[in-house]
Structure 1
C-alpha cells in the first residue's frame, strides 16, 4: 500500500525585498499543514506538491518553501502551477534528482515519474507560460503516453496542477485545463492509471475523465468560495485549510481522504 500526501496552492509570497515574511499567512498555514501531516498515525510514503507553490515565482519564495518543507522525512515531489516559475523552482529543488533532471533547456517542462512503494507517480506539467489556464501540448502528451507505456502493469497516479474536468465555479472554469479530451485519450490507452490528482481549485472535489476518477486538493492556505451560480462571485472563505491523502494498493484500488489542518486528536473510542 502506498500512501501519498498532496499539498497544493501554497502561494508563498515575497515582499519588495524578495524575502518571505515568516509571520505571513501562507507561511503559518504551511507550517500547520506540515505539522498536521507529521501527526498522522500512518506517515505518508511521499508528498507531492501540485503547483502554485509560490505566488510570484520568485527565487526567495522557493528558497523559503524548500526550508519550510525540510521537516518532512519522506520524499517530496514538486511540480509547477500557473503562478510558478519553472526555472526558479528547479533551481531551489536541485537536490531533488527527478526535478533537476528535467532542466534540459530554459523553461523546460517539469514532468517526471517516480516509484512510491510499488505505485507509480507521474507528475505532469500543465503550465501555459503567461496564462492562468492549463494545457498539455503535443510534446507533453507524447511524453505522458511514452511514460505510461513504460510500466503498464504498475498502478499509477497522475498528478497535474489544472484539473481535467469541470468544477462548476465560474472563476476556476475560466482558468480550466483546455482540451482535456486529448489528455483523456492518452489515459484511456493506459488502464493502470487509477487516479488523477490536481490542485488549482483551492477546494477538495471529485470528478471524472472517461473512466478515471479525478480529485482536487484543498489549499494549504485559502479555500475558494463555493458559488455555483452564474456569473458567481470570485472570493475566498474562512473554511479550514487542508491537504489530501491518497491510498493506492497493488491491485489498483485507490482511496482519497481530505484532511483539514490543525491538531485533531481522538475524542473517544467508538469500538
Structure 2
C-alpha cells in the first residue's frame, strides 16, 4: 500500500520588500500542516502539492516554500496552479529530476510522472499563465494519454490543480479547466487510474467523473465558504485548515481511499474496542 499526502493552496506571499514574513498566516499555517503530517502514526511515502503554492509566483516565495517543506523526509512533488509561475516553481525543485526534465523551453507545462511505493503518480499541468481558469490543451491531453498507456497494469493516481468535475460553487466552477470532457474520456480509457486528486477549491470534496472517484483537498491556509446557491457569495471562512491523505492498494491493486485531516495536534483520547 502506498500512502500519499496532499497539501494544496498554500499561497505563500512575499511582501513589498520581496521577502516572505515568517509571522504571516500562510507561513504559520504551512508549518502547522507539516507538523501535523509528521505526527501521523503512518508517515506518507510522498507528498503532492496541488498548486497555488505561491501567491504571486515569485522566486522568493518558492525559496521559502522549499525551506518550510525541508523537514519532510519523503519526496515532495509540486504542481502549478493559477497563482504559480511554472519556470520559477520548476527551478525551486531542481533536486527532483522529473520536475526539471518536464520543461525544455520557457513556460513549458509542469507535467511528469513518479513512482511512489509501487503506485504511479501522474502530475498534470492545468494552469494557464496569467489566467485563473484552467486548461488541458491538445498537447497536454496527448501527453496524459501516452503516459497512462505506458503502464496499464500499475495503480495510478492523476493529480491536477483545477478539478475536472463540478463542485457547485459558482466561481470555482467557472475556473473548471477546458477540455475536461476529453480528460474524462482519456482517464476512463485507462482503468488503472484509481483516483484523480485536485486542489483550487480550498475545501475537501469528492465526486465521480469519467468513472473515476475525484477529490479536492482542503487548503493549508484558508477554506472557501460553502455557498451552493446561485450566484453565491465568494468568501473565506474560519473553518480549520487541513490536507488529504490517500491510501492506494498495490496488492491487490485497484482501490483507493481518501482521508481529510484537519491541521493541529490530535492525540488519542481513549482506546476503543
Write out per-residue CA displacement over residues 160-186 of structure 1, whole angstroms, 9 at most, x where no aligned residue.
Answer: 000000000112112112231010111
Deviation at 1:195, TM superposition (A): 0.4
Match of 1:96 in 2: 96
Conservation of the 8 A alpha-carbon contact between 1:158 and 1:195: yes
Instruction: Work out the CA distance in 2 between the residues paired with 1:134 and 1:157.
Output: 19
The answer on 1:207 being equivalent to 2:201 is: no
Q: CA RMSD in A?
A: 0.6
- Superposed, 1:160-199 pairs within 5 Å as 160-199=160-199
TM-score calculated relative to the size of structure 2: 0.98
Spell out structure 1 runs of 4+ moving beyond 3 A: none
Instruction: Work out the CA distance in 2 between the residues paired with 1:109 and 1:39.
Output: 34
Match of 1:34 in 2: 34
- Superposed, 1:61-210 pairs within 5 Å as 61-210=61-210
Aligned residues: 271
User: For structure 1, which segment, 174-183 or 69-78, has the greater mean C-alpha deviation from structure 2 after superposition?
Assistant: 174-183
Match of 2:258 in 1: 256
Deviation at 1:81, TM superposition (A): 0.3
Conservation of the 8 A alpha-carbon contact between 1:87 and 1:107: yes
Match of 2:269 in 1: 267
Conservation of the 8 A alpha-carbon contact between 1:165 and 1:177: no
Write out per-residue CA displacement over residues 24-76 of structure 1, whole angstroms, 9 at most, x where no aligned residue.
Answer: 00000000000000000000000000000000000000000000000000000
Give the gaps of 5 or more residues in structure 2: none
Conservation of the 8 A alpha-carbon contact between 2:137 and 2:179: no
Deviation at 1:95, TM superposition (A): 1.3
Instruction: Work out the CA distance in 2 between the residues paired with 1:177 and 1:201.
Output: 13
TM-score calculated relative to the size of structure 1: 0.99
- Superposed, 1:55-66 pairs within 5 Å as 55-66=55-66
Give the gaps of 5 or more residues in structure 1: none
Secondary structure class of the residue paired with 1:49: strand
- Superposed, 1:217-232 pairs within 5 Å as 217-232=217-232
Instruction: Work out the CA distance in 1 between the residues paired with 2:13 and 2:170.
Output: 25
Deviation at 1:210, TM superposition (A): 2.0
Conservation of the 8 A alpha-carbon contact between 1:169 and 1:227: yes
Deviation at 1:234, TM superposition (A): 0.3
